[in-house]
Amino acid sequence: MSVTDERRKAAARPVPFGMRDRLRVPKERYYDREFFELEKEHLWPRVWQMACRLEEIPRPGDFVEYEICDQSVLVVRQPDGSVKAFHNACRHRATQLCKGSGRLPGGQIVCPFHGWRWNLDGTSSFVYGADGFAPECLRPDDIRLRECQVDTWGACAWINLDPDARPLREALAPAADVLDTVGVENMRVWWWKETILNANWKTAQEAFHEGYHVMATHPQLTSGLGEDYPYANTEYTAFENGHGRFQGRFDPSAGGVSQGRPAQAFLDRSRTLWEGQDAMTLERDLHVFRGMRNRVPPSEDFPTAAIKALSDYAQGAGIPFHPTPEGMRLWGGEVFLFPNFMVLPQFGNALSYRIRPHNDDPEWCRFEVWSLTMYPEGDEPGRAKLKGRFAPDDHENWGLIPRQDFSNIERMQRGLHSRSYEQHRLATEMEQIISNMHAELDRYLAG
Amino acid sequence: MTVEQAGRRGPVVHVDPVDAELELEPDETIIEAAWRLGYHWPTTCHGQATCTVCHVEVLSGAEHLVPPDDEERDALETRLPGAQRRDLTRIRLACRARATGDAVVRKKGVRPTQTVPIPPTGPL
Ligand code: FES
Ligand code: FES
Ligand SMILES: [Fe+2]
């Protein structure tokens, strides 16, 4: 059954531990096995999900295996540059055809068990010992690989296991349109790492759905203001389709989120962000900003001048960075795409997160982090590769900011099991992206 | 065969006895170049480094072939029939070997194909 707005009018199934209002989230949603199984049955097989970045499969014959719970899908670059997706199971005796990522030499998908083969478009190209099979077992339509829906947006391939799902852009609206204003299509991987967290996938991602935690979790980002650190200058929006956004309340005409900051404060914060995660603000940006240090008269706003310098630099270098007022409003904010993907843009860069259940366990998740940036045109980086899987407290591979976030996530999951605890109580405005996500999740589970 | 041939860009792997000249594109393996240029090359795993059916004997220019990685060495040592009796320093997998310069290899069963190497539809 397809997921359409009509279905939402009549809930066909009762949802255990359902959302009764937008202010509370029952704790069982984060660890209950039955709830997790409902997600496996009614959410993941029907929702559009980010399967890979397109830089992972730059050339014809490149493939990526995308795993979600017990399902595995192959995303394959076609000779004409388009992308197809196939269920990753041999039509003979079910063997998984490919694992991980890589190239399909000679444009052939080969089963390791008995050597059946398929072309990149999923048509059968070879059956070893075909004489040994009854003809009805080898009908070409029957043995071609089973396709699943795939489309591209934001420099990523997205898949949907539901053949009747509505189109990608309809499902991603309006969040994708919002992200188009910062040029996500032009962003490429600077680095890509992952960690395994002892927490439900929703627990993990919800640590990134508000800026309310910055005061206590990331004191180094509060300019020493402590509890005076302002929380009300962030605007939160719950979108339809379960998506959400938060962004600063500021005049986007000039210096972006930092407008009005004195030069040294702006440079210090930029350096803290770069050192703290090597994302959103990169060394290149810092270099350009520092070059402006003694060149801006005190009567002018330093961040405005620094960002102008960055955009001039990009233009000279052929970097497709074209800040727009709408896009600049998003800098330092976040766009969440239901159910499990996030983009946090800043300048020509962004952080991006994808969170999936891990090992078929509601209490574990796989958390991937991409630092994205824009490269000069014609100077695209090579194939994107995962740098590795690193422990959440690995000082070498995670900056201070993500380590601070990760440590809270696992502690939250522990606290959920406290016999004293029943439900999250959410801030009306500041935590609405969380409740909005859960409300959409219940629509999937109910219908 | 001369090294300095007019217009040549990539390394060339000469294949005996079919007498084929395969000019490799950057990052391309011997078997991929052969497929691209319309040759049939013996294989059952089609480039997964598992069947070893694609293996070649290197007659000269071994130093111009990128050294084998662990995957290739493991395949040759454990899956090549009669590996114990053979000089593995002269044997390479065509589906893994890339070249930085010219080389000559021997491989029986390589022949030009009449049709395109990848049929657009299945054989059935
Ligand atoms: S299971 Fe794939 S060919 Fe037999
Ligand atoms: S093609 Fe099978 S090992 Fe090379
Ligand atoms: Fe954080």
User: Is 70 exceeded by the pLDDT of residue A322?
Assistant: yes
End-to-end CA gap in chain B: 42
Instruction: Give just the sign of the alpha carbon dihedral A324, A330, A332, A336.
Output: negative
List pLDDT tens digits, range A133-181.
999 999 999 999 999 999 999 999 999 999 999 999 999 999 999 999 9
User: Is 90 exceeded by the pLDDT of residue A99?
Assistant: yes
Mean pLDDT of all residues in A412-436: 97
Q: Does the C-beta of A133 come closer than 6 Å to ligand 1? A: no
* CB A246 within 8 Å of CB A333: yes
pLDDT band at B119 (very low <50, low <70, confident <90, very high): very low
* Angle of CA points A124, A125, A131, to nearest 5°: 90
Q: Does residue A397 sit in the same domain as residue A434?
A: yes
Interface test with B, best of A90, A104, A117 (most B CBs within 10 A): A117
Q: Is residue A102 part of a domain?
A: yes
Of A107, A110, A112, the CB nearest to B118: A107
Q: How far apart are CA B15 and CA B102, in angstroms?
A: 11
- Phi and psi torsions of A399, nearest 5°: -70, 175
pLDDT for res B116: 43
Domain boundary among A128, A160, A192: A160
Q: Is residue A44 part of a domain?
A: no
Instruction: Give just the sign of the alpha carbon dihedral A306, A308, A311, A316.
Output: negative
pLDDT for res B1: 44
Tokens standing for residue A178: 């919002």
Tell me the DSSP string of B60-77.
E-GGGBPPP-HHHHHHHH
Q: Does residue A55 sit in the same domain as residue A147?
A: yes
User: Is 60 exceeded by the pLDDT of residue A383?
Assistant: yes
* CB B29 within 8 Å of CB B36: no
Query: Do the Cβ atoms of A108 and B46 come within 8 Å?
Result: yes
Q: Does the C-beta of A116 come closer than 6 Å to ligand 1? A: yes
pLDDT for res A10: 57
Side by side, which strands form the sheet with A83-87? A49-53, A156-160, A147-153, A83-87, A71-77, A62-68, A101-103
* Angle of CA points A428, A431, A435, to nearest 5°: 90
Q: Is residue A40 part of a domain?
A: no
What average pLDDT does chain A have? 93
pLDDT for res B124: 40
Q: Where are the alpha helices (DSSP H) in chain B?
A: 30-36, 70-79
Mean pLDDT of all residues in B50-72: 95
For A240, the domain range is 24-31+181-446
Q: Does residue A139 sit in the same domain as residue A194?
A: no
CA-closest residue to ligand 1 atom 3:
A114
Query: Do the Cβ atoms of B122 and A144 come within 8 Å?
Result: yes
Q: What percent of chain A has pLDDT over 90?
A: 83
Chain pair A-B, CB pairs under 8 angstroms: 60
Q: Is B81 on the interface with A (CB under 8 A)?
A: no
pLDDT for res A253: 64
Tokens standing for residue A263: 């030069």
- A181 Cα–ligand 2 center, Å: 47
pLDDT for res A298: 86
User: Is 80 exceeded by the pLDDT of residue A258?
Assistant: no
Q: Does residue A318 sit in the same domain as residue A393?
A: yes
Mean pLDDT of all residues in A272-296: 92
* CB A335 within 8 Å of CB A245: yes
- A316 Cα–ligand 2 center, Å: 47
pLDDT for res B9: 78
* CB A39 within 8 Å of CB A445: yes
Chain A hits for B47, Cβ within 8 Å: 104-106, 108, 110
pLDDT band at A221 (very low <50, low <70, confident <90, very high): confident
pLDDT band at A12 (very low <50, low <70, confident <90, very high): confident
For a substitution probing ligand 2, which of B41, B54, B77, B92 has the most ligand atoms within 8 Å of its CB? B54
Q: Does residue A214 sit in the same domain as residue A330?
A: yes
pLDDT for res B113: 82
Q: Does residue A204 sit in the same domain as residue A87?
A: no
pLDDT for res A223: 77
CA A150 to chain centre: 16
Q: Does residue A317 sit in the same domain as residue A364?
A: yes
Radius of gyration of chain A (CA): 23
Q: How far apart are CA A402 and CA B77, in angstroms?
A: 44
Q: How far apart are CA A396 and CA A315, in angstroms?
A: 34
Q: Is residue A175 part of a domain?
A: no
How deeply is B29 buried, as exposed, middle or buried, from its count of CB atoms within 10 A (0-12, 13-18, 19+)?
buried
Query: Do the Cβ atoms of B46 and A144 come within 8 Å?
Result: no
The ipTM estimated for the assembled molecules is 0.72
Mean pLDDT of all residues in A225-251: 90
pLDDT for res B123: 43
Q: How far apart are CA A198 and CA A362, in angstroms?
A: 9
Q: Is residue A168 part of a domain?
A: no
* CB A434 within 8 Å of CB A1: no
Query: Do the Cβ atoms of B117 and A106 come within 8 Å?
Result: yes
Encode burial over A263-280: b for 16+ CB neighbours within 10 A, e otherwise.
beebbebbebbbebbbbb
pLDDT band at B121 (very low <50, low <70, confident <90, very high): very low
Q: In 3-state terms, what secondary structure has residue A7?
A: helix
pLDDT for res A185: 96
Of B48, B120, B122, the CB nearest to A110: B48
Mean pLDDT of all residues in B41-58: 93
Mean pLDDT of all residues in A244-252: 85
User: Is 50 exceeded by the pLDDT of residue A2?
Assistant: no
CATH H superfamily, domain B23-110:
Beta-grasp domain (3.10.20.30)
Per the structure, the count of domains in chain A is 2
Of B45, B118, B123, the CB nearest to A110: B45
Query: Do the Cβ atoms of A106 and B121 come within 8 Å?
Result: no
Domain boundary among A104, A125, A160: A160
Domain boundary among A160, A193, A223: A160
pTM beyond 0.80: yes
Q: How far apart are CA B53 and CA B59, in angstroms?
A: 18
pLDDT band at A233 (very low <50, low <70, confident <90, very high): confident
Q: Is residue A9 part of a domain?
A: no
Enumerate the domain spans of chain B.
23-110
* CB A32 within 8 Å of CB A361: no
What average pLDDT does chain B have? 86
Of B35, B50, B123, the CB nearest to A125: B123
pLDDT band at B6 (very low <50, low <70, confident <90, very high): low
List pLDDT tens digits, range A325-365.
889 999 999 999 999 999 999 999 999 999 999 999 999 99
User: Is 90 exceeded by the pLDDT of residue A309?
Assistant: yes
Can you give the CATH number for the domain in which A437 is found?
3.90.380.10
Q: Is residue A390 part of a domain?
A: yes
Mean pLDDT is lowest, of A69-73, A237-241, A258-262, for A258-262
Which is nearest to A320 in space by CA: A419, A185, A186, A223?
A186
Q: How far apart are CA B20 and CA B101, in angstroms?
A: 16
Q: Does residue A282 sit in the same domain as residue A400?
A: yes
> Amino acid letter at A87?
H
Q: Is residue A172 part of a domain?
A: no
Q: In 3-state terms, what secondary structure has residue B90?
A: helix
Q: Does residue A327 sit in the same domain as residue A378?
A: yes
